[in-house]
Amino acid sequence: MNEYDFQLHLVLSTIARGAHRLEEIARECGGLYPLELRVLLDDLVKQGQVRLSKKGYHLTLFNKVGAGFAQSGILSDHLPILPEPHPHDCDWRFDPATSQYLARIILQESSPSGVVLLLGAPSVFIEMACSRNVPHTILLDWSSELTDYMIRFFLPDTFRLVNHDLLSGSLWQSHWPVDVVLCDPPWYPEHYAAFLTQAAYTARVGAAVIVSLLPLNTRPDAVADRWQIFENAQQLGLHLQTIEPGAIRYQTPIFESASLHATDFDLKSDWRSSDIAIFRKTSEPSRDVVEKLLAATATTDKQEWAEVLLGRYKIKLRGPFNDYLESPTLISIEKGDILPTVSRRYPGRKLIDLWLWDNRVFAAKGKAAFLAALYTLAGRPRSHLSSSISDANHNRALDILSQVIGPSDYPMKMSDAKSAMIAH
C-alpha cells in the first residue's frame, strides 16, 4: 500500500468511526494537514466512496447494480438478511459502515482474480456480494444452521460457504492460495489462536491478514491477551503492519439489549467497538508451531449443544438427549428468565439448558421431547430421535415452546406441528 492509498484508508477509517466534519476528521487523522486532508476528501467524493452533505462527510452505501460499486443503500431482495445472533456463539455483527469499510480494505488488498477468506464475518460476506468484479470469496463458519440458511439465497457464482469449526483441532484445506484473510473471532485467546493458525496456514506469503482486536479494557487480562495474540501471530509468520484503534463498530444484538434492560440499563445506540490489526504474511509457519496451537485451541468442552433455527431465530438446547420417557418441563433459573450478562465468566451459564436468541434461559427436563418439538417446528425430520418419545410428551413440549417463543416466522406453526405429529 503506497502513501496515498494509506492516507485514503486512514480517512475512511476515521469517518467510519464517527468523525464527519472536517475538523473532527483532522483531529483523528494523526497530524494530516487540513489542506491535504481536504484534497483527499474531495478525491473520495469524486470516487463515490464518500458523500458530502450539510452534516459533513459520510460513507456511501453500496449495491451491486451498475459498474463496480453503485450508490444505493438497499440490499438486493435476493441476498439473505442474516439470522439474529445468539449469545452462546459470542456473535456480534459489524455495523453497516464497518462492513463497507472492511470490504474496501479487502478489495484494495486483492484483485478480481484473487481469493478472499472470511473467518466468522458473514456481514462482510454479504457486503462483498453487493459488488461487481470481486475476488473468489469464501466464508468459513462453524454453524451449519447459518451456512444452510445462507445457501438458499442467490449468491455470486464465485462465492462459497464452508461449514468448519476452527476449534475442532483441524484445519480447513483450501484449493487455492488466499490473498486476503479477515478474522473476526470471539474475544478469547483460544479463538484468536485458532483463527490466526487457519489464516497463516491458508494465506500465501505476502497476503494481508485483517483481524478485529479486542479493546484494552475488555476485561482485566485483555492486555496480556493482546500480547499473546501478537506473539502467536509472529510465530505463525504474520508480521504486524498497522493497528487502527476503535476502527470497528458493532451493532448491539437483541440478546445484549435484553441483558442491559434486565439490569435497568438501556442504551439507545450501538456502543461496542474494537481495533483493526493488519498483519502481512512474511513466511510459512513451521509444522511444530501449527500443531502446538491446534492442540491448545481444540475445545475440551464435549457437552453437546443442539441448535435449531426457527426462521431467523436460533434456539439452543443442551444435551444429552437420552431422557426419552421424561415429561418435558422448563425451570426458571434467572429473574425474569433473562440472563443478566453476556460474559462467559458468569457462573449461572452452567445451569442453562434451553437458551433463546434474546438471552432468555431455562433449565429443562425432558430434553429429548423438547428437541423433537424444535425439529418439528423447524420442519425437520426427527427420525434419528428415539420413537420412545410419546405423542403426549411431544405435544406437551410444543405447548410449552409456544408459550415461551410466541408468534414467530418459523416454518411450521404449532397447530400444523401437532397435526403432523398425529399423521406421523
What tens digit of pLDDT does each residue of 12-38 get?
878 876 788 888 888 877 667 777 888
pLDDT for the residue 70: 32
* Closest C-alpha among 192, 175, 284 to residue 231: 192
Flag the least confident range among 79-83, 403-407, 415-419: 415-419
**How many CB atoms sit inside 10 A of residue 164's CB?**
16
Q: Please, which pLDDT band fits residue 299 given cuts at 50, 70 and 90?
A: low
Q: Is the pLDDT of residue 418 over 80?
A: no
What letter does residue 285 receive in the DSSP assignment? P
pLDDT for the residue 131: 76
Query: Grid coordinates representing 280?
Result: 502481512
pLDDT for the residue 384: 65
Q: Is the pLDDT of residue 236 over 90?
A: yes
Mean pLDDT of the chain: 86
Q: Is the pLDDT of residue 250 over 90?
A: yes
pLDDT for the residue 282: 97
Flag the least confident range among 217-221, 275-279, 408-412: 408-412
Burial of 11 (0-12, 13-18, 19+ CB in 10 A): buried
Which range has highest mean pLDDT (66-80, 264-278, 342-356)?
342-356
* Closest C-alpha among 100, 65, 96 to residue 82: 96
What tens digit of pLDDT does each residue of 328-342 get?
999 999 999 999 998
pLDDT for the residue 407: 62
The residue ranking higher by pLDDT, 11 or 1, is: 11
Average of per-residue pLDDT across 111-118 = 92
Query: Grid coordinates representing 65?
Result: 447494480
| Separation in Å, CA 423 to CA 61, 391, 418, 419 | 50, 11, 9, 6
Task: Classify each residue of 374-399 as buried b or exposed e, where b means 16 or more C-beta atoms within 10 Å of its C-beta.
Answer: bbbbbeeebeebeeebeeebbbbbbe
**Strands (E) located in 78-196:** 115-119, 136-141, 159-163, 178-183
Q: Please, which pLDDT band fits residue 68 given cuts at 50, 70 and 90?
A: very low
Q: Is the pLDDT of residue 242 over 90?
A: yes
pLDDT for the residue 29: 74
User: Domains in the chain, ordered, with CATH?
Assistant: 1-60 (1.10.10.10), 62-296 (3.40.50.150), 305-423 (no CATH)
pLDDT for the residue 132: 73
Cell 493458525, residue? 197
Render 41-70 in DSSP notation, one character per residue: HHHHHHHTSEEEETTEEEEPPEESSSSSSE
Phi, psi of 318 (to 5 degrees): -85, 135
399 vs 68: CA distance, rounded Å = 51
